[in-house]
Amino acid sequence: MPRKSKKKQRKGAVKERKEKVISSLQNFGEKTYDQIVSGEFPWTNIPSRSINNIFYDEKLRQYILGDRSVKRTARNIRHIRPLTQLIWIGMFADELSRQSKTSTLRDVYYSAQAYEMSFTDQQESDNLITDLETVIGYSREDFNVFPEERSAIFGDLTVEYTLPGYEGNKLNLTSHPDGMMIGPALTSSELVNCKADKVIAIEKGGLFTRFIEEKVHTKHKALLIHTAGQAPRATRGFLKRLNRELKLPVYIFTDGDPWGMHIAMVIISGSANAAHLRDLNTPDAKWFGVWATDIVDYKLPSDQLTELDVKRLHELKKDPRYEGKLWKKEIDTFIKINKKAEQEAFSRYGLTYIVDEYLPAKLEIAESL
């Protein structure tokens, strides 16, 4: 019985969240309406996203906003335009959410013209969308504004779609061996059955395909995710769901250079730009390679660091997200050996070495971190 109720609880996660998002949007609208009806100039408080209000929270292991906020009010003539724009974005987000239609940042910019709502350029509408995120506390993907980029997933997870027209359809994500795109349909689906016991996120597409071919999903009971470089926000949110709802540990496998390291870090600790949001990062995710020390230990073919690589490593040294022992050691090793290596470098030992030898060895280490 407890198992069943747990499953039932899990099944409603998406629906419940969607209701919360719509009710936040509705609250924002109602508040504005009430202000007008009661003869007040409409206004709203927006937590400040300025650099001196962004702090790293050691406990949450992510950036958060401090207590400062900005009051935007129609009483101030300079606020009338951005406040009106914000209310319009809220209305548009509400329409998208209720009708289960999706959009993109660029698309919202053009859509405004259908309502004779004016934005000087896309930058202006992008900023207002971030304002709305800050006000309601949900990310734009929650109100159906998606990025252009898509990454992919493969593995023994059965999802049940909630998308209109597909409601109740189920699909096992091993059905298509090239991988399924992670878009609005997947991120809005319920996770109904999972045989995997871990997630491996992979930077490069070639490696993602190799892992499928070499059956990492069955040998290691893993869900495989192709991040396609920096993981899109929708994918970071989905990784978080896999970790929280299914209790799956998440392991990240990138190129061995400061950029690969940072792909892992953004999945783990998020970005300063998203300090106003939760649920986009997975603090317990682990980066298992390619480490700088792997370049030495596995005698990998490598390239010399560029000036830009070195500059980036010194930046990361000062970044509060890189406080941990592992990170410090790897940053120092990169600088010391002055080398970087790509995931494909393991092919020097044959195409399957990475799956047969390296992966099991590193998973064992990562599990103990």
SS3 316: helix
Task: Please list every residue from 254 through 283 that binds its own copies, using CB under 8 A.
Answer: none
d(Cα 86, Cα 335) in Å, to the nearest integer?
46
- Per the structure block, which two tokens stand in for 23? 């009710």
| Residue 291 CB coordination number (10 Å) | 23
In the list 114, 120, 318, 368, the residue contacting its own copies (rule: CB under 8 A) is: 114
Cβ nearer to its own copies, comparing 324 with 350: 350
Residue 328 makes contact with its own copies by CB under 8 A:
no
Q: Which residues contact 214 (CB under 8 A, 6 or more apart)?
A: 352, 355, 356
Cβ nearer to its own copies, comparing 41 with 115: 115
Residue 138 makes contact with its own copies by CB under 8 A:
no
The CB-of-136 to its own copies minimum distance in angstroms stands at 21
- Region binding its own copies by CB under 8 A among candidate stretches 52-60, 135-143, 146-154, 264-272: 146-154
> Which residue in 110, 166, 349, 358 is the catalytic one?
110
Cβ nearer to its own copies, comparing 69 with 111: 111
Judge if the upstream peptide bond of residue 70 is cis by omega within 30 degrees of 0.
no
User: Using the 8-state DSSP alphabet, how is residue 358 labeled?
Assistant: I
- Region binding its own copies by CB under 8 A among candidate stretches 10-18, 202-210, 242-250, 268-276: 202-210
Q: How many residues form the binding site for its own copies (CB under 8 A)?
A: 52
d(Cα 344, Cα 350) in Å, to the nearest integer?
10
Counts for the chain of helices (H) and strands (E), in that order? 15, 15
Residue 230 makes contact with its own copies by CB under 8 A:
no
d(Cα 274, Cα 54) in Å, to the nearest integer?
10
User: Using the 8-state DSSP alphabet, how is residue 57 labeled?
Assistant: E
- Region binding its own copies by CB under 8 A among candidate stretches 2-10, 24-32, 206-214, 271-279: 206-214
Q: Which residues pair with 226 in a beta bridge?
A: 152, 202
Residue 168 makes contact with its own copies by CB under 8 A:
no
In the list 113, 123, 304, 338, the residue contacting its own copies (rule: CB under 8 A) is: 113
Binding track, positions 77-106, relative to its own copies; x by CB under 8 A = -----------------------xxxxx-x
The CB-of-277 to its own copies minimum distance in angstroms stands at 21
In the list 28, 143, 322, 346, the residue contacting its own copies (rule: CB under 8 A) is: 346
Query: Which is nearest to 198 in space by CA: 150, 237, 252?
Result: 252
Dihedrals φ, ψ of 205, to 5°? Answer: -65, -40
Q: Counting Cβ atoms within 10 Å, is residue 247 exposed (0-12), middle (13-18) or buried (19+)?
A: exposed
Task: Please list every residue from 298 through 327 that binds its own copies, using CB under 8 A.
Answer: 301
Cβ nearer to its own copies, comparing 44 with 343: 343
Q: What are the respective helix, strand and coil percentages of the chain, to the nearest 5?
A: 50, 15, 30
Residue 148 makes contact with its own copies by CB under 8 A:
yes
- Per the structure block, which two tokens stand in for 126? 């992008």
- Per the structure block, which two tokens stand in for 330? 């790897």
Whether residue 138 lies in the annotated active site: no
Binding track, positions 32-71, relative to its own copies; x by CB under 8 A = ----------------------------------------
Contact 47, 276 (CB under 8 A): yes
Which pairs with CB-CB distance under 8 Å and at least 24 residues apart come from 105-114? 105/129, 105/140, 105/145, 105/147, 106/148, 108/145, 112/88
Active-site residue list: 110
Binding site for its own copies (CB under 8 A): 100-104, 106-107, 109-111, 113-114, 146, 148-150, 152, 161, 163, 165-166, 169, 171, 175-186, 204-206, 209-210, 213, 215, 301, 342, 344-351
